[in-house]
Structure 1
Amino acid sequence: MFQITPIAAFEDNYIWALCQPDHCYCLVVDPGDADAVEQFLTQQNKQLDTILITHHHGDHTGGIAKLRQRFPAVNVIGPAAEHAYIPGLLQLVDDGDTVQLPTFGLQLEVISVPGHTSGHIAYYSAPVLFCGDTLFSAGCGRLFEGTAKQMWQSLQKLIALPDSTLIYCTHEYTLSNIKFALTVEPTNAALIEYQQRCQALRQVQLPTLPTTLALEKQINPFLRCDDTALQTRWRVNSAVALFTLLRASKDQYKG
């Protein structure tokens, strides 16, 4: 049995910590803030064994150097395509690779998901998906380096996973994403109900994550671009065209 815990960092980041109750080792995903990780490890009496990196942005990688100093034996795994931008990587992985984590009795599949950055990757071991800044609840990542077509293709890889997949993304953007999603589908009953549920969670400082792929298929407009009714409403005739339009609209959205 694994326990996956969000470590809050900066304004809205989550650094995911994977631990097992019966041993002292811990894995963290995208540790932008070393101090937050160290505080968690001290509280839980755990030792850092592995770091997983999804992409090169500083709020996901900024803690690597300090954590390697504190835990010299830690393995740091990340995208081969972005190794030049991520000092401290020790194991480079790419699409289709399998990450073996014998300490945890775990294997992770590496999935290439370019769009937010050109070499972004996700890690999957059923039912868990660590997807960085590619897929958010009710949203998706901005296109800093990739194209809309690339991001849509990346999301198709994630949509193909089982509906039971638990999506551990790295930002608490859910409520703001829902506001935009409601401008796309204002009568989506599942989305309206989800907004109420997430508002209740945030009022008591609880995370809205993880979410499930099954739910995201119902409420996330960026996963619903093949819906012909949505295409008709937005006056486009393909999923890629709708995704491109929605992503550009979200970039300008001030709600």
Structure 2
Amino acid sequence: MCGAPAFPDREGVIEVKQLTKRYGRARAVDDLSFTVQPGHVTGFLGPNGAGKSTTMRLILGLDTPTSGEALVNGRRYATLGRPLHEVGALLDANALHPARSAYNHLLWMARSNGIGPVRAAEVLEQVGLAGVARKKAGGFSLGMKQRLGIAAALLGDPGVLLFDEPVNGLDPDGVRWIRDLMRSLAAEGRTVLLSSHLMSEMALTADRIVIVGRGRLIVETSVKDLTERYDSLESAYLALTAGSVEYGAAR
């Protein structure tokens, strides 16, 4: 980490407080509040159009809220001096320069945050891409791009991590690897917010669940609580979101 946070009692905590984001007359996020604590994998679930990706973008300062706020370590992302040391994220595996090698992609990010080149090599090894480090990322499969995006998220050794559909394009071994990685990161005391549509995988990976629909909070609880009240996490999700499905809506 890059020094003690301004609010040490909030270290590693993601706080979403009465967050609203309007696009014209449409509300992508509507007075949404929840908290993500360290030491857990928190699953972020909701139908298409529920506002999950928008919420993640707001947490990361990639969009500006209409009202409310999203804080990491008690601060807005935009105020972090070297954000990669505190927050890592994978939102879009295709967000890379296709002509850059995997190593140079990470090296460019590392230099922007005062991270040494050795760390770029370390995370490529960690995600299983050391053998293709010098190959152009534009030629990678989706699964390889996902692994490179995870390497980028881990680059600054951050305490807070956000992943949006990280298992897309991965084979079964890759999916299991992601599951083990998420759980190991949480076991180290990190905060992990994980968005995925795979209910079976979320049931195996997450400790806590935040479910949203039409931009609003439906439930914030533990996986254990939901599976005690319903037959499975999938049954709980389908029952709780039955009135929130918007076919054809954007995420």
TM over 0.5: no
**Which structure ranks higher in relative contact order (CA pairs < 8 Å, sequence separation ≥ 6)?**
2
TM (normalized to structure 1)?
A: 0.35
